[in-house]
Every structure is written in structure tokens, then in C-alpha cells.
Amino acid sequence: MTADALNSSRRPRSCCDKSWRSARRSVLSQAATESTAHGLSRTVGDRHWVVRMLWLLAFLVVVSVLLKLLVDAVNRLASQPVSTAVSPNLEKFAFPDIHICSYPMISASYSATMSEAELNYTNWKINRIMNVLHLANITGEELVRLAAQIFVGSVPYSFLSRNMGMRMEQTIIGATVMPVTHNLVLDVDIIKLSHYKFLNCFTIRPKTSTAQRLLSYVAGHLDITLFADATYNKTLKLGNDTIDVRGLGFINYELLIGSGFRIYFTERGRYPDEYSTSVAVSPGFHHQISLSMRVNSLAKDKKQCVSDKPLESIYDAETGKGNKYNYSLGTCYAKSLSRMFHELGLNCYIAGYSPIMYSDRNVTCCNNLTSLLDAYYSSSIPLKSVLQAIHFIQKLYNGSVVREMVDSVSKMESNCQFSRPCEERIYEPSVTFVLFPLRQGLRTELTNIFKQLTEDRQKTYFVPGREWMVNLFSSAYGPSSTTESEKELVDAASENIVRLHIHAGELSSTLLKQDISYNFEDLTAGVGGLMGLFMGGSVLTLLELIELFACLILGRQLTARNAANSEGDSTVTGHAGNAEVQLEIGSDQNTVF
């Protein structure tokens, strides 16, 4: 091949290279001129209509996604989501108020302390109730149960507490803060508590700062010895919250009495109710109670809790006064229950359901038939009126009234759904126990207990049950002691004495703190990020780059194909130098699709 032929064969390649470079510059120039300052393509340019529709579709998709994200962000802000942080042992453990209530509530020896006038009054009251119940054809256990319920609801609380319930001073044998051996004092560290479910309740709250500080650490603990007055078999008996008094109209209904105590743990100044943590303890055991404190700090801004409620006044049925307590969920339910009964036209309260607020102190118990019985026995009203009231009391305790008030109860619960205090301390007990008294060290252990029983300060608190226990101790370990007397003492101690050891646990506190996790600042930052993505380096910019690379690749392929065709034509005709390579993209040389 000659040099001229070689040069002639190379001319089409040079021509094709120039044409390819020209087409590439054209594509780049057109892509640059059709880009706006913010990166959005001109969809109304000189493009093919299919390309324009695709760009419009992409634009609408991106705008829809942006709007959806904006709406989700606003909805999230409106819902005020919260995050909860759990921090162990961050809060200092604060020893709680300890509320101890006799359960069941009737003393086994208190009838021996009733005066003749009180005994006659009780017999007279019960006989009037029993006569009416017989006229209503009520028999069997229902007769005894209804008579007890009406009797309890018809006599003053002070009468029941004074004559039938264990008293604080008889229940407490000893309460000592250890290891400093600081004895708690009645009416100072141990105070009377009027409770809506029990006749005998009291609160242990050490007054001295030394005792408070010591009990706030694992090293300190509270030792309590209680007397249940359970087995002195004289008169009063209790079963299923029903009084069975031997010689007072109740016969053959002697069930368990004095089975133990219910102990409530609350933060200082709070009333013990159904929503407070509690445990049941019974005679015959030495209970070890380890306490941990959980601090619930709810998000105030969410407005699903109460942060500024004043003290609530709860009615003391024994003194007739109002006692101040910190607001709690239980007081919210108590007020809602009172409003519900008033709206339903009951105008009375159901004994044992909830605390009685001081504002409702003049509302009578639904079981109180005193005025009706007085009117009936004075012939002022017919028997039918009394029987209607008795029928209503039957419905109260068989669940019929509650079933009829389902809608009202649901409304009451919704009213208090978001009424929990924003910050509260909840105490969680862990209970272990061993038998008491143990055979090892039996005499020493019982001697320490009965030494407390026979101290001078205890002598004024004697009731027959405690005096009986002291006499048993003297017989068991006196000069004329026998195996039988010691066994009788051990049995009596296991049936009447409760030992408690209360202390802070190793994991003494846990803080559960809630905070709003998405606020206006987060919304602003999120919206700013979305707008930046949309207006700056957006999906549209990415699509522009994809389109540009597609055009470059397609243009190069078309240029190479045309160059190959031109080279083939020049070989056949021998006129390669006159070959022309043209690049057509779309229907126009200067149009990119």
C-alpha cells in the first residue's frame, strides 16, 4: 500500500474523530445551557415530549415525597413523642411512709372491753336489723352477711374503732431503727391513720433526722414487732369482712380472725389506697422486706399528668376532721366516684370502695338504714320502703349495680386517665421470710419480745389477748414451767406475733425520666434538611447527571457506528477523503433526547 493510499485510508478516521468530538461538545454545551442556577432542569425546553413527560413525572414524585415528609413531621410534632431514660441509683433513696393496717379488722379480745351500755346498744341494733331481714325472707349465710353489712354501715365509725377494731397502741409491741437502737415513740413517730377499709391503721414516719438518714442507706433498717390479737377465744370473730360476735345475734359463723396485716408503702405525705404498693404479712413468720424506689418523672409538656395539684383533704370518720394529703391518682378516682354517684341519684357512698373526700363528709353510707329503721319502727313508713333499701344493698354486693353503671365507670376512668402526678415515687418491695419463732434460740428471742410487752410504757396498752400472752410466757419460763406450757406459748406466739425487718435494697433507686423527643427545633431542622435536599443536591440533580451520562454514552456509540459505516464506504468507492460523518441525535442535530 502506498503512502497516498495509507493517508487516504486514514482521513475518514480523522473526520470521524472530529465529528465525535463535535457531537460531545454539543451535548455538554446543551446540558450546561439547560441547567438552572439551582440545579433544576428546564422541562419546557426543546426536548422530546416523552422526555418532558418523564421529567414532569419525576418532579411530581419528588414534590409528593417532600409534602408527605413535611406532613409526617408536623403530625409527629403534634403527637409529642417521648423518650424514656432509665438511670439506676441516680436519685437518693428516701425512706417511705409505712402504713400498717390490721387485716381482717376485728380483734379477738375486744368484746371483753365493751361496757355494758355499749354491749346492750349493739344487741339492740342487731336485733332490729335481723327482724327486718327475716321479714324479707332472707336466710342462711346471706342473712348473716347482710346483717353485718347493715350494722357496720349504721353505727358510727368511732364506735366500731373503739369497741371492735385493734387499736394502734395495742398492735405495736416495738418499732426500732437499727443499728442505733432508736425506739420510735407512739403519737410522735407512729401516728393514727383513719382508713376507708380498715378499723385499725397507723403510719410509721420517724421524726428525727438521724433516723431518717440512717434508713435511707442499706446499713440501716427498721425492726417492727406486731401483735395480731388473733386467738384469744372470747367473742368477736370475722370472716369475709363480716362480724361474728358470740352472744350478739351471730351464731355458728366463726371463721378466721386476725390473720395478719396489710402494709402499704407510699412516698411521704401520700394517702395509702388501692393504687399504692402493699404486701400482706401474717403471724408465724419473720418477714424481710427489701425496698427499691422508682421515681417516675413524666413529661409535663405532654399534658398527660398533673404537676400543680394542691393538697387533698380526706375525711377522718373518727374525728370528723379533714386530713391533708398529697394529690394522687386515688384521690382523683375518689372524687370522680363521688360525682358519678351524685349524677346517678344515689346520694350515698359505698363503704370500702374509695376514700371519702372532706367535701363529701355529710354523705351517708349506702348501708346505713338507721333513719329508715327508726321510721319503720315508729310506723312512719311501710315495710316496703325498708325492703327496697335492703334489695339495693343486695345489688351493691352481688355486682348488679356495677353492671348497670358500666358506662359511668368507663367515663370515670377516662376522666382520670391522664391525672397521674407528673413526678412520684413508687416503692417496690421484695419479701422473703422464715418461720417464727425458731427452735434455735427460742427462749432468747421470746424473752426479748415479752420484755417489751411487760415494760412500763406497755402496761397501759394491755387488752386481754396481750395479758394472756404475758401470762403464757411467765408459765413457760417460770419456776413451774413444763413442756406443755412452752408448747402453748410457742403456738400462741406463732399465731399472734408478726416480725418485720424493712430496709433499702442494694438497687435502692431507679429514675425513669420522660422527655419530649421531638419539638419545634427538631421540626425546623428536619424541614430545613428536606428543603435543602429538594432545592440543592436533589434527586432531580441526580437524574440530570444520569441523563447526561446516557447522552454521552449514546452519542459515543452512534459516532463510532457512523464512523465505521463511513470507513466501509470509503474502502468500496476509493474516495475515503470525501466521506462525511454526520451525527444525528433525535430528529435534529442539535437536539438531545
Query: What are the domain boundaries of the chain?
Result: 3-76+522-578, 87-515
Percent of the chain with pLDDT over 90: 12
Residue 556 has pLDDT above 80, yes or no: no
- Choose between 442 and 136: higher pLDDT: 136
279 pLDDT band, cuts 50/70/90, is: very high
583 pLDDT band, cuts 50/70/90, is: very low
Mean pLDDT of 496-503: 91
Least confident range from 43-57, 463-477, 550-564: namely 43-57
Average pLDDT, whole number, for the chain?
76
**Residue whose cell numbers read 409491741:** 173
Mean pLDDT of 477-484: 80
Instruction: Please name the CATH architecture into which domain 87-515 falls.
Output: Sandwich (2.60)
C-alpha radius of gyration, the chain, whole number: 44
Distances (CA, A) of 439 to 288, 445, 492: 19, 10, 14
> How many CA atoms within 13 Å lie on the side-chain side of 404?
12
Contacts (Cβ under 8 Å, ≥6 apart) of 321? 358
How many other CB atoms are found less than 10 A from the CB of residue 115?
A: 9
Residue 3 has pLDDT above 50, yes or no: no
The three cell numbers locating residue 531:
428543603
Residue 113: per-residue pLDDT: 63
Give the pLDDT confidence of 520-553 residue by residue, as tens digits.
777 777 766 766 666 555 556 666 667 777 777 7
Residue 586: per-residue pLDDT: 41
Mean pLDDT of 397-424: 77
Distance CA 75, CA 72 (A): 5
Mean pLDDT of 442-461: 68
Residue 298 has pLDDT above 60, yes or no: yes
Residue 268: per-residue pLDDT: 92
Residue 11 has pLDDT above 50, yes or no: no
How many other CB atoms are found less than 10 A from the CB of residue 20?
A: 19
Cis preceding-peptide flag for 437 (omega within 30 of 0): yes
Give the pLDDT confidence of 350-375 residue by residue, as tens digits.
877 888 899 988 888 888 888 899 99
With beta carbons less than 8 A apart as the criterion, state whether 220 and 179 touch.
yes
Contacts (Cβ under 8 Å, ≥6 apart) of 158? 317, 318
Contacts (Cβ under 8 Å, ≥6 apart) of 491? none
Q: Which amino acid is at 364?
A: T
E-state strands within 184-284: 190-193, 201-204, 221-227, 236-239, 242-245, 260-266, 277-281
